[in-house]
A and B are shown apart, each in its own frame.
Chain A
Amino acid sequence: MRAEMFRGVPWLALLVLAAVGICAAGGEALLPFEPGELDLGAAFKPPAWISGDWASPLGADNLGRDILSRIMAGSRVSVIVAFYAILFSGGIGAVAGMVAGYFGGWVDTVLMRLIEIQQSVPAIALALILAAALEPGLPTVVLVIVLTYWAWYARIIRGEIMALKGRDYIAFARVAGVGTARIFLRHLLPNIFNTLVVLATLQVGQVILFEASLSFLGLGIQQPDISWGLMLADARQYITNAWWAITMPGIAIMLTCLASNIFGDWLRDRLDPHLRQL
């Protein structure tokens, strides 16, 4: 039974995700250097295995800041952004989807129209204008992602709920006079839980890429906060001088996205195979 449950677990992917989690949770204590600390003398110090030293194994950026420390500090921002973005977009989307799917009628119509409006505005355009309207920074990035992704959750959860509603036991519960709140919590939520977990896992990579796009356009995470997307976007100016300055955060993004997608795929196959169209 146990062996069955863990069969094919993508250990490598989990390892990467765990490493990101530890870096993020460990906070400043783990950092070799203060990530904002400038040392113009050490600008573009190459990684240790080329001609640098093990004090900053991944080398230094244009202002002589230790890249490893910045990637570790950036992991915290990435995890925070992903956590809140997923929590709120998943939460709002799940509630909206459940309400729309369960009650149907005008509630459903209104929500579906809202979802359609949401999906007809190019996400990055909305994000851009919103980030310009509010102060760009971490909360704005989260808000923008939530506004973009809640509809994605809502649409899928609505479909699931509509299918569930037709099941006998829900109908029995209703006839038996079970309260709506109880039906939601006891009968609907547990049934969509797997779907939510799969969607959330798959969203991690999307959040990271979305933040990187915003950073490229100058409206993502703002200094002195550090995010991988911001490091990547800033370092592109020195792509021919110091390839490591752009490649290292790029690899961090790549590994994290790959790991969360692989893990998400595995979860999907395990928990909710009919979600394969996502």
Chain B
Amino acid sequence: MAQSLQRIAAAAVFSLPFLAHAQAPKPATGSLAVAFGAEATVLDPTHSSAGVDQYFFGQMFEQLVRTGPDLKRLNWLAETWSVQDAGGKPVIDIHLRKGVKFHNGDPLTSEDFEYAFKRQSDKKISIWTHLQAAVERFEIVDPLHFRLHFKEGDGSYVASDLTLWAMPKRYMEKVGDEAFERAPVGTGPWKFVSRSVKEEIRFEAFDDYWNAEQRPHVKNLTIKVIPEDLTRVAAFKTGAVDWIDAVPPAMTEEFKKLPGVVTASYVAPNNMYITMDSVTPESKFYDVRVRQALAHAINVDAIIKGVLFGQGQRYVEVGIGELGYDPDLKPYPYDPKKARELLKAAGYPNGFDTPCYNLTTPREPYQKEVGEAYFAYASAVGIRCKVVGMEYGTWISFGRRERQGYVDGLYSNMWGHGLPGDPGTPWAGHLHSYVPGKGWGATSTYSDPEMDALVEDLKREMDIPKREALIKKIARIKHERVAGGLTTYRPLVTFAWRDKVTFKPWPMAFWRSMQEIGLKQ
């Protein structure tokens, strides 16, 4: 309170001659170094190929809407927006916020979003063009007002924060794509300064940032890239950096006890599950009772506690905070006896042998060990695993139906998405049956016309309350039939910072957003 009063007072003194900008805040000062465990490859959001790219571009670029720290959706660069109906086809009508500037001083206008839309629909530039496929045309009404006309409903468009990133049209047309990668310009709170691959990226707070309330309070920010856990921890403990991401789960307890250190854990937008072929009649897991036996066999809570040091959150089909989360949906209880009975009922009184594929490249902390634990629990009730380790590059092809067909046995899998998340797109990929060449069921292990119809409905549905109801309905059926895999946990990621740092985690860039970071005075 005192701080904001002070800020208002300061603003009043400094901006007296420019009353139009009465809320312009005091420029930030000071420097801060932080360390990330992974780094982005590209800096232009349109070039992005993986979630990790957001770690860097998420600091510089912004979308029309954004999810706030409480996981509620906020209007961001859009002042208002609504889904309207134009003769049976949906239209998203958007009014831009006034006074938003790019880092080079250009004002943000509808043309910049039209440009972004064109680039995000261009196969030569973006690999995400299918996300724009449902948009028929982009209509500019005036510099701060535009409309997106859809051919058909596209629920994922709404679910993923209206997908478009504000790109500076005039600047980009002047410098070209390649130079833009080396000197990106966005509307975000951080201005690009320099980057050294595998080492660091440097930012400077953007003084003309439009958001007077939620903004950084430090002038210079350096993000170091330190992949090895112990080294990152050492960098923090020795004071080389004052903030780190991904505290190793085994060390979170120790970090919580460190004097002068603040920690916070958040759910990472990744959903872990175990999947099995339920399509091929010869598959042992074709029988729903075998799948249920597996669900009863694995003690997920014990794994979270023992293997992950509590750094995981159990979920059933839809995670907490995600659209359509249903608190009444309970996991299958750990019950090895029941599991054996179910196996017996399915015709395997003595169990059976099966290959079990484990991802050994840790995409999430201790993923390999979790896999080993899954398979040990499965073996204990008679689903006897012959464990096969797989490196990420092999594993990712492995999950795809068009290359591998259906795979016999169990394998650990995951689906990542934005925060808070919406299961529409993941389910289109692994719950809908596999339709060659159409994008449906690319990693599917399930096939059921009833489920297909529901997932397709969900794909088209743009109305949030209706989506929510539909998601809950699908989740129930999915859970009963253990369809499209057995959901287990969502990893938690822990951040630590020294108490001289003020930090409020925003879900952008998977909680690594430096939207509100600063140094205590």
Residues of A within 8 A of B248 (CB): 237
Decide: B230 and A223 in contact? CB cutoff 8 A: no
Decide: B391 and A38 in contact? CB cutoff 8 A: no
- Who on chain B is nearest to A42 by CB? B306
B517 at the binding interface (Cβ < 8 Å)? no
B414 at the binding interface (Cβ < 8 Å)? no
Decide: B391 and A62 in contact? CB cutoff 8 A: no
A162 at the binding interface (Cβ < 8 Å)? no
Residue B307 contacts which of A37, A40, A236, A240 (CB distance < 8 angstroms)? A40
B222 at the binding interface (Cβ < 8 Å)? no
Q: Chain B, 324-361, contact with A by CB distance < 8 Å: what is the 0/1 string?
A: 00000000000000000000000000000000001011
A-contacting residues, B345-379, CB 8 Å: 358, 360-361, 365-366, 368-369, 372-373, 376
Residues of B within 8 A of A238 (CB): 250
Tell me whether A222 and B360 are in contact in the complex, defined as CB-CB below 8 angstroms, given that A38-B373, A43-B306, A62-B307 are known contacts.
yes
Residue A222 contacts which of B251, B254, B389 (CB distance < 8 angstroms)? B389
A241 at the binding interface (Cβ < 8 Å)? yes
A116 at the binding interface (Cβ < 8 Å)? no
B302 at the binding interface (Cβ < 8 Å)? yes
B393 at the binding interface (Cβ < 8 Å)? yes
B52 at the binding interface (Cβ < 8 Å)? no
Cα separation A45 to B322 with both chains bound (whole Å): 38
Residues of B within 8 A of A62 (CB): 250, 307, 366, 369
A239 at the binding interface (Cβ < 8 Å)? yes
Decide: A241 and B373 in contact? CB cutoff 8 A: no
B-contacting residues, A223-237, CB 8 Å: 223-224, 234, 236-237
Cα separation A224 to B251 with both chains bound (whole Å): 26
Shortest C-beta distance, A213 to chain B (Å), equals 14
Cα separation A219 to B254 with both chains bound (whole Å): 31
Q: Identify whether the interface residues of A are mostly helix, strand, loop, or mixed.
A: loop
Most A C-beta atoms less than 10 A away, residue of B251, B302, B386: B251
Decide: B376 and A223 in contact? CB cutoff 8 A: no
A-contacting residues, B145-181, CB 8 Å: none
A271 at the binding interface (Cβ < 8 Å)? no
A80 at the binding interface (Cβ < 8 Å)? no
- Who on chain B is nearest to A224 by CB? B387
Decide: A136 and B391 in contact? CB cutoff 8 A: yes
Residues of A within 8 A of B386 (CB): 224
B-contacting residues, A200-237, CB 8 Å: 218-219, 222-224, 234, 236-237
Residues of A within 8 A of B136 (CB): none
Decide: A240 and B251 in contact? CB cutoff 8 A: yes
Decide: B373 and A63 in contact? CB cutoff 8 A: yes
Residue A218 contacts which of B305, B361, B365 (CB distance < 8 angstroms)? B361
Decide: A132 and B372 in contact? CB cutoff 8 A: no
Cα separation A43 to B358 with both chains bound (whole Å): 21
Decide: B230 and A239 in contact? CB cutoff 8 A: yes
Residue B389 contacts which of A40, A64, A132, A136 (CB distance < 8 angstroms)? A136
Cα separation A132 to B396 with both chains bound (whole Å): 13
B229 at the binding interface (Cβ < 8 Å)? yes
Q: Which size bracket describes the interface of A in this complex?
A: 20 to 34
Residues of B within 8 A of A37 (CB): 376
A269 at the binding interface (Cβ < 8 Å)? no
Shortest C-beta distance, A59 to chain B (Å), equals 15
A135 at the binding interface (Cβ < 8 Å)? yes
Decide: A63 and B394 in contact? CB cutoff 8 A: no
Q: Identify whether the interface residues of B are mostly helix, strand, loop, or mixed.
A: helix
Tell me whether A223 and B368 are in contact in the complex, defined as CB-CB below 8 angstroms, given that A38-B376, A62-B307 are known contacts.
yes
Most A C-beta atoms less than 10 A away, residue of B250, B305, B361, B393: B250
Residues of B within 8 A of A218 (CB): 360-361, 391
Q: Count the A-B residue pairs with Cβ separation under 8 angstroms: how many?
A: 65
Residues of A within 8 A of B369 (CB): 62-63, 234
Cα separation A222 to B307 with both chains bound (whole Å): 19
Residues of B within 8 A of A40 (CB): 302-303, 305-307, 373
Shortest C-beta distance, A235 to chain B (Å), equals 10
Cα separation A37 to B377 with both chains bound (whole Å): 10
Residues of B within 8 A of A43 (CB): 306-307
Q: Chain A, 237-248, contact with B by CB distance < 8 Å: what is the 0/1 string?
A: 111110000000
Residues of B within 8 A of A136 (CB): 389, 391
Residues of B within 8 A of A38 (CB): 372-373, 376
Cα separation A237 to B246 with both chains bound (whole Å): 12
Tell me whether A132 and B391 are in contact in the complex, defined as CB-CB below 8 angstroms, given that A38-B376, A223-B358, A238-B250 are known contacts.
yes
- Who on chain B is nearest to A137 by CB? B389
Cα separation A23 to B365 with both chains bound (whole Å): 33
B-contacting residues, A34-70, CB 8 Å: 36-38, 40-41, 43, 62-64
Decide: B250 and A237 in contact? CB cutoff 8 A: yes
Cα separation A132 to B307 with both chains bound (whole Å): 28
Tell me whether A219 and B391 are in contact in the complex, defined as CB-CB below 8 angstroms, given that A63-B307, A63-B372 are known contacts.
yes
- Who on chain B is nearest to A219 by CB? B391
Residues of A within 8 A of B250 (CB): 62, 237-238, 240-241
- Who on chain B is nearest to A41 by CB? B306
Most A C-beta atoms less than 10 A away, residue of B229, B306, B387: B306
Tell me whether A132 and B306 are in contact in the complex, defined as CB-CB below 8 angstroms, given that A223-B358, A223-B387, A240-B250 are known contacts.
no
Residue A223 contacts which of B305, B360, B394 (CB distance < 8 angstroms)? B360
Shortest C-beta distance, A43 to chain B (Å), equals 6
Residues of B within 8 A of A132 (CB): 391, 393-394
Residue B229 contacts which of A36, A137, A223, A237 (CB distance < 8 angstroms)? A237
Q: Chain B, 379-408, contact with A by CB distance < 8 Å: what is the 0/1 string?
A: 000000011110101100000000000000
Residues of B within 8 A of A240 (CB): 230, 233, 250-251, 254
Shortest C-beta distance, B400 to chain A (Å), equals 18
Residues of A within 8 A of B366 (CB): 62, 237
6 nearest A-B pairs in the assembled complex, by CB-CB distance: A222-B389, A40-B306, A38-B376, A224-B387, A241-B250, A223-B389
11 extra interface residue pairs, beta carbon distance < 8 Å, beyond A63-B376, A223-B358, A236-B229: A37-B376, A40-B373, A63-B306, A63-B307, A222-B389, A223-B389, A224-B387, A237-B248, A237-B250, A240-B251, A241-B251
* 15 pairs from A and B in contact (CB 8 Å cutoff): A38-B372, A40-B302, A62-B307, A63-B306, A63-B307, A63-B369, A63-B373, A222-B360, A223-B360, A223-B372, A223-B389, A234-B369, A240-B250, A240-B254, A241-B250
